[in-house]
Structure 1
């Protein structure tokens, strides 16, 4: 039984350590916090079992810090005061910089996006403080806006910043838009939660 207990403790200790290191490799801030919390809880159990109380205290403190950030980030997910939508021109230098920096990531999710064809588009940056959380590019045809790009930067991938463009529909109504259609082949359930309805292989929002 002692042999089993020792191996069980070793598994908990190693598991907590590996999970702690893995959590620090995450770019998604909310996922990082959840994984880090799980690692700290395992290390609390491990260090309490071997009676290393300073490490217990440290991991309890880290667990509480992670919980505080998780609650804060979860509350901000749909909080309009936490995100700012800024409309920029298709030739805006900062927009070009964002699209270049995240070009590889954008290509993973939407390989047919071409940043050189933005002329005539309406472009929106979704900001969280001084960080860019998302980019939305629309092509307006009559009273319909077609989604050319709805991209979330890796750090905010647990959020849905594009929703603030849709929710602040005055931005689109001012251009005479009454209907938004996502890119063909879009299969993201987040659209269901922000007022879109499924129509064929896309989602549609009536403003």
Structure 2
């Protein structure tokens, strides 16, 4: 492969990464990929001597850096809203709107909800509010005095940067402790969701099922 072909490949790679970045639903992922693609394409512009291409993409790179710094340094406001009734109309709308995405991570959950296979007294149903927007949904079912099974822990595509999960499982542990919950149990077959659970402190429990059973022991910062 000669030098000309290598240079062309640099341009192709930069272009493809920029194109892929535009398909991201997460703004942070979009910014990171766009930053990488623009940096590569700017390098390509300098190599071939095209200053308009080089400086335009350098400018795009700096814009991405500016907004990434701004996003990572910004303080988000979180709040939990507890839904007392499983028949809540907004909850129904939320599940209908995100049904396809929810079923990727929690197969059959929406059908289970529609069939009313829940008992209101058994469930903890929470909407996670982030900067006045609904960022996620958590529904847990108490299966013993100190154990809760996570039925769904869903973050909307715009807020899949782990901050919502950290708020539930790290910063808000006292919410569960006040209910006497010491252990959370969940299961999943989805690789992306399993990675998320591992980051949130869940560990795999040995079992004979095809689905992986994961457990998180709740320890508040006051006791750690």
C-alpha contact 2:105 2:188 (8 A) present in aligned 1: no
Distance 1:38 1:174, change over 3 A: same
Q: Aligned partners of 1:75 and 1:205: how far apart in 2? A: 30
**Worse-superposed segment, 5-14 or 142-151:** 5-14
C-alpha contact 1:186 1:203 (8 A) present in aligned 2: no
| CA deviation vs aligned residue, 1:8-48 (integer Å, no higher than 9, x gap) | 33222232222212210111322222211111011111211
Deviation at residue 136 of structure 1 after TM alignment: 0.9
Deviation at residue 106 of structure 1 after TM alignment: 1.2
Deviation at residue 100 of structure 1 after TM alignment: 1.1
> Where do 4+ consecutive residues of structure 1 move more than 4 Å?
72-76, 184-187
Match of 1:140 among 139, 142, 145: 142
Q: Aligned partners of 1:62 and 1:41: how far apart in 2? A: 8
Q: Aligned partners of 1:166 and 1:13: how far apart in 2? A: 43
Instruction: Say which SS state the counterpart of residue 134 (structure 1) adopts.
Output: strand
Deviation at residue 164 of structure 1 after TM alignment: 1.6
C-alpha contact 1:137 1:150 (8 A) present in aligned 2: yes
| CA deviation vs aligned residue, 1:145-195 (integer Å, no higher than 9, x gap) | 211111122233342523322231232233332332223668724434434
C-alpha contact 2:139 2:150 (8 A) present in aligned 1: yes
1:144-163 map, 5 Å: 144-159=147-162, 161-163=164-166
Instruction: Let me know the Cα RMSD of the aligned residues.
Output: 2.8
Gaps of 5+ in 2: 207-212, 220-224
Deviation at residue 73 of structure 1 after TM alignment: 4.2
| CA deviation vs aligned residue, 1:112-170 (integer Å, no higher than 9, x gap) | 31223344221112233243332110112333221111112223334252332223123
TM-score by length of 1: 0.81
Number of residue-to-residue matches in the alignment:
202
Q: Aligned partners of 2:108 and 2:131: how far apart in 1? A: 30
Does structure 1 residue 68 correspond to structure 2 residue 66? Answer: yes
Gaps of 5+ in 1: none
Does structure 1 residue 173 correspond to structure 2 residue 168? Answer: no
